[in-house]
């Protein structure tokens, strides 16, 4: 299932409204300074065009994001400095290594609250590499959390915290969905949640049925649906969000070990620049795609002005921010 989420995230056009070039003060806030000739101090990518947009949201997703774009040798020094410790082979479990790979490297976070799986990629043909040298650079970050079956409320808190993180970064909510074994769509009370964009998320999930020859709408809040179904067999929830350069994903499954929470962060620009693409070609396209996602989200509000329920909820209230 985790591989499916990686594929889904990679398929998205990833966009990042935060920083294409950070100044030195923000580098100090990050807790490290990048010193290689390819990744300048305090920048995500020293070849990024345009004026820096300094938005240093302080959450779990930006902590993962700040580990990308770092030369391999510097990357391992950085995570060691932060307190990450390699997971011994005897402690590697199926729930966070679904294909039983013997080559993957996993790391306990400093407080052992999650397991980190980084991805290092050689940028063999990138024009940013001098003399055609393929620089090994950190590109994608994955982390895993296991929560006991009886602690479903903690899972709900984690789901809503992830949504708050996306909102804090002003990321576009691409999709949210949940289901479970033998769940049905088009029934009421709703058994499946599904939303595309923040506007649809704020509107909840509804079904349309014919009652006595007339169309009738039945509606429920997504949070209510998820809370009611989270303990069902084979419960499965996913969330995808995107910025101008990054895609974010959360996947929750109920397995025999408990609730497995899998977070994926993918830097698409690093992938799209390989091989032979350039920032000048890539950057305007990603910005336009992000702007289109925002326009579509705002346009969706019009559909609720007719007979469709409900009135769109205030997003801050929906996310329990106020």
Cβ–Cβ under 8 Å, residues 5 and 27: no
pLDDT of residue 271: 66
pLDDT of residue 63: 85
Identify which of 120-129, 190-199, 297-306 has the greatest average pLDDT: 190-199
In this predicted structure, the answer to whether residue 197 has a pLDDT above a threshold of 70 is yes
Q: Edge to edge, what strands does the sheet with 193-195 contain? A: 85-86, 107-108, 115-123, 135-147, 258-267, 246-255, 236-242, 172-179, 193-195
Q: Domain range for residue 245? A: 2-318
Could you tell me which of 23, 21, 47, 42 has the C-alpha nearest to residue 32?
Answer: 42
Angle at 171 between CA 57 and CA 13, to 5 degrees: 130
CB proximity list for 113: less than 8 A, separation 6 or greater? 145
* β-bridge pairing 236-242 and 172-179: antiparallel
Angstrom CA distances, 204 to 60, 71, 269, 314, 319, stand at: 26, 43, 32, 12, 13
pLDDT of residue 52: 39
Q: How far apart are CA 262 and CA 47, in angstroms?
A: 31
Share of the chain above pLDDT 90, in %: 46
Q: Cα-flanking dihedrals φ and ψ of residue 26, to 5°?
A: -70, -30
Tell me how long the chain is: 322
Higher-pLDDT residue of 199 and 128 is 199
Cβ–Cβ under 8 Å, residues 279 and 286: no
Is this structure's pTM higher than 0.85? no
Distance of CA 82 to the CA centre of its chain: 22
pLDDT of residue 4: 58
Total domains present in the chain: 1
Q: How far apart are CA 105 and CA 85, in angstroms?
A: 10
pLDDT of residue 74: 81
In this predicted structure, the answer to whether residue 20 has a pLDDT above a threshold of 50 is no
Cα dihedral across residues 322, 239, 244, 82: positive or negative: positive
In this predicted structure, the answer to whether residue 151 has a pLDDT above a threshold of 60 is yes
* Three-class HEC string of the chain: CHHHHHHHHHHCCCECCCCCCCCHHHHHHHCCCCCCCCCCCCCCCCCCCCCCCCCCCCCHHHHHHCCCCCEHHHHHHHHHHHCCEECCHHHCCHHHCCCCCCCCCCEECCCCCCEEEEEEEEECCCCCCHHHCCEEEEEEEEEEEEECCCCHHHHHHHHHHHHHHHHHCCCEEEEEEEECCCCCCCCCCCCCEEECHHHHHHHCEEEEEEECCEEEEEEECHHHHHHHHCCCCCCEEEEEEECCCEEEEEEEEEECCEEEEEEEEEEHHHHHCCCCCCHHHHHHHHHHHHHHHHHHHHHHHHHHHCCCCCCCCCHHHHCCCC
pLDDT band at 46 (very low <50, low <70, confident <90, very high): very low
């Amino acid at each position: 299932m985790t591989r499916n989420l990686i594929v889904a995230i990679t398929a998205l056009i990833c966009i990042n409204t935060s920083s294409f070039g950070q100044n030195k003060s923000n580098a100090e806030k990050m807790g490290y300074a990048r010193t290689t000739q390819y990744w300048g101090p305090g920048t995500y990518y020293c070849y990024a065009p345009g004026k820096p947009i300094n938005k240093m949201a302080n959450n779990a997703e930006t902590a993962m994001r700040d580990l990308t774009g770092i030369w391999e040798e510097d990357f391992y020094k950085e995570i060691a400095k932060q307190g990450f410790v390699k997971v011994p082979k005897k402690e590697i479990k199926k729930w966070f290594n679904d294909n039983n790979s013997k080559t993957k490297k996993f790391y306990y976070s400093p407080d052992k609250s999650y397991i980190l799986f980084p991805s290092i990629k050689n940028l063999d043909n990138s024009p940013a590499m001098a003399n055609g040298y393929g620089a090994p650079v950190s590109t994608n970050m994955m982390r895993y959390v296991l929560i006991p079956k009886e602690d479903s409320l903690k899972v709900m808190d984690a789901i809503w915290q992830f949504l708050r993180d996306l909102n804090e970064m002003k990321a576009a909510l691409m999709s949210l969905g949940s289901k479970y074994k033998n769940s049905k769509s088009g029934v009421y009370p709703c058994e499946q949640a599904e939303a595309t964009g923040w506007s649809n998320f704020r509107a909840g999930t509804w079904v349309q049925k014919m009652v006595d020859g007339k169309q009738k709408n039945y509606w429920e809040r997504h949070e209510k649906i998820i809370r009611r179904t989270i303990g069902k067999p084979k419960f499965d929830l996913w969330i995808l969000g995107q910025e101008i350069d990054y895609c974010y994903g959360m996947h929750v499954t109920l397995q025999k070990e408990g609730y497995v929470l899998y977070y994926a962060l993918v830097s698409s620009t690093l992938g799209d620049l390989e091989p032979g693409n350039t920032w000048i070609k890539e950057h305007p396209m990603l910005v336009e795609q992000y702007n289109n996602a925002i326009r579509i989200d705002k346009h969706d509000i019009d559909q609720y002005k007719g007979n469709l329920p409900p009135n769109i909820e205030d997003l801050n209230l929906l996310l329990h921010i106020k």
